[in-house]
Amino acid sequence: MTERIEGTWSAPGRVNLIGEHTDYNDGFVFPFAIEYRTTVRLASRDDARIRVSSSFSADAVEVPLAELAGLFPDRRDEVVEWARYPLGVAWALLEATGTDAASVTGVDLAFSSDVPVGAGLSSSAAIESATASALNDVWQLGLDRVALARAGRRAENEAVGAPTGIMDQMASMLGQPDAGTFLDCRSLLAEVVDLGFARAGLELVVIDTKVTHAHSTGGYGERRAACERGAEIMGVTALRDVSVADLPRAQELMDDVTFRRVRHVVTEDQRVLDTVQTLREDGPRAIGGLLDASHTSMRDDFEISVPELDLAVETARAAGAIGARMTGGGFGGAAIALVDRERVPAVTAAVESAFAAAGFTAPHIFTVRPSEGARRDA
């Protein structure tokens, strides 16, 4: 009998400060990992099977490791949805390294999490990154953090069926305390950029609207298709290759809806670059206008906001936020607001009463701190 391995790994959710729907266009994003984490307790087993269980679902799933290759992607519907994330990562890791399932130890993976689900804070990337980190260590695959993020994205794309980019997995893998991850999604080169919120007396407030969304259905895929159409019309590989100066020509060449999708992505890429530069030169108090402009672009051009997100953003600003925008893929989820520490209670109260007056479900409002990425805890 082989030696029993046990351990605990964890990975965080994320907030995207700016750069929305730019990742799958080879563009720029600027997210940070948050202190809410998913933890996985791993115990090895000697029967070459993988079992996943969690505190957030009654359904545990157990399959022989050798059967993962037959399940994903074609037979993924046979797996209960939450389990597609960790099992998909196990599959993607074996595939990426050309590892024979018979050569690695069986594992029991037990998950628990305090990352809010459906709030646009990447609870799914937290599961993927925790799983990837644990299996990389225990199976001794020797992959670096970028390769682990790629395996997480592959699981999301092919085992879950959500056509997402790589931002969330990279943010969860690479997070650093008090810093954002400025990522070029084409080269996958990342820079750690000091955010300085605490030093400037600022808090990052999250307003979870409780409007749930799923990126495996509908709007997300349609937006991605519009971007691909726009890139094709412009004759480029990806919208990353279109600049703000090219927009008048784009407008002549495409229909209004495609043009507005393109304009969002092209201007959002520029806003990410401007945000990083502004932070470095003038500090976080100077980035409010860029956050506001990002929201307007998502509301009017990309059309992925919902009335609850618009109300959260407008009310937070009216109550004194330095800047506010929806964060994540859209169609629900959360807004963020950059707020002076002493104004947090006033902003919270204003948003709560605006939601009540509009007849919306009460939002969940809390602050987050830029935090450490995936790690082994014990």
Cα 10 to Cα 373: distance, rounded to the nearest angstrom: 8
Length of the chain as a residue count: 378
Closest approach of ligand GAF to the CB of residue 23, in Å? 5
Q: What are phi and psi of 275, to 5 degrees?
A: -65, -45
Q: From the list 10, 15, 17, 21, which residue makes contact with ligand GAF (rule: CB under 6 A)?
A: 21
Q: Which of 23, 26, 168, 269 is catalytic?
A: 168
Query: Does residue 279 bind ligand GAF (CB under 6 A)?
Result: no
Considering the complex, state which of residue 251 and residue 296 has its C-beta at the smaller distance from ligand GAF: 296
Q: How far apart are the first and last CA of the chain?
A: 23
Site for ligand GAF in 205-244 (CB under 6 A): 215
Q: From the list 13, 17, 20, 344, which residue makes contact with ligand GAF (rule: CB under 6 A)?
A: 20
- Of the candidates 231, 233, 259, 261, the one whose C-alpha atom is nearest the C-alpha of residue 247 is 259
Closest approach of ligand GAF to the CB of residue 319, in Å? 26
Instruction: Give 206's strand partners.
Output: 336, 366
Considering the complex, state which of residue 18 and residue 138 has its C-beta at the smaller distance from ligand GAF: 18
Query: Does residue 23 bind ligand GAF (CB under 6 A)?
Result: yes
Query: Does residue 88 bind ligand GAF (CB under 6 A)?
Result: no
Cα 20 to Cα 45: distance, rounded to the nearest angstrom: 41
Cα 227 to Cα 240: distance, rounded to the nearest angstrom: 10
C-beta of residue 248 within 8 angstroms of C-beta of residue 259: no
Q: From the list 164, 209, 275, 294, which residue makes contact with ligand GAF (rule: CB under 6 A)?
A: 164
Count, residues near ligand GAF per rule CB under 6 A:
12
Query: Does residue 37 bind ligand GAF (CB under 6 A)?
Result: no
Query: Does residue 161 bind ligand GAF (CB under 6 A)?
Result: no
Stretch near ligand GAF under the rule CB under 6 A, chosen from 18-26, 43-51, 93-101, 143-151? 18-26
- Of the candidates 68, 104, 103, 110, the one whose C-alpha atom is nearest the C-alpha of residue 87 is 68
Cα 75 to Cα 251: distance, rounded to the nearest angstrom: 42
C-beta of residue 21 within 8 angstroms of C-beta of residue 268: yes
Site for ligand GAF in 91-130 (CB under 6 A): none
Stretch near ligand GAF under the rule CB under 6 A, chosen from 13-21, 186-194, 231-239, 292-300? 13-21
Binding-site string for ligand GAF from residue 168 to residue 207, where x marks contact by CB under 6 A and - marks none: x---------------------------------------
Considering the complex, state which of residue 73 and residue 219 has its C-beta at the smaller distance from ligand GAF: 219
Query: Does residue 370 bind ligand GAF (CB under 6 A)?
Result: no
340 is catalytic: no
Site for ligand GAF in 302-331 (CB under 6 A): 328-329
C-beta of residue 373 within 8 angstroms of C-beta of residue 9: no
Residue nearest to ligand GAF (CB): 329
Instruction: Give 14's strand partners.
Output: 33
Query: Does residue 167 bind ligand GAF (CB under 6 A)?
Result: yes
Considering the complex, state which of residue 141 and residue 167 has its C-beta at the smaller distance from ligand GAF: 167
Sheet holding 323-327, edge to edge: 323-327, 334-340, 202-208, 364-368
- Of the candidates 369, 378, 377, 376, the one whose C-alpha atom is nearest the C-alpha of residue 33 is 369
Both tokens of residue 305?
């906001």
Query: Does residue 24 bind ligand GAF (CB under 6 A)?
Result: yes
Both tokens of residue 212?
């749930």
Give strand ranges (E) for 19-168. Answer: 28-45, 49-54, 57-64, 106-113
Which stretches of the chain bind ligand GAF, using CB under 6 A?
16, 20-21, 23-24, 164-165, 167-168, 215, 328-329
Which residues are known to be catalytic?
168
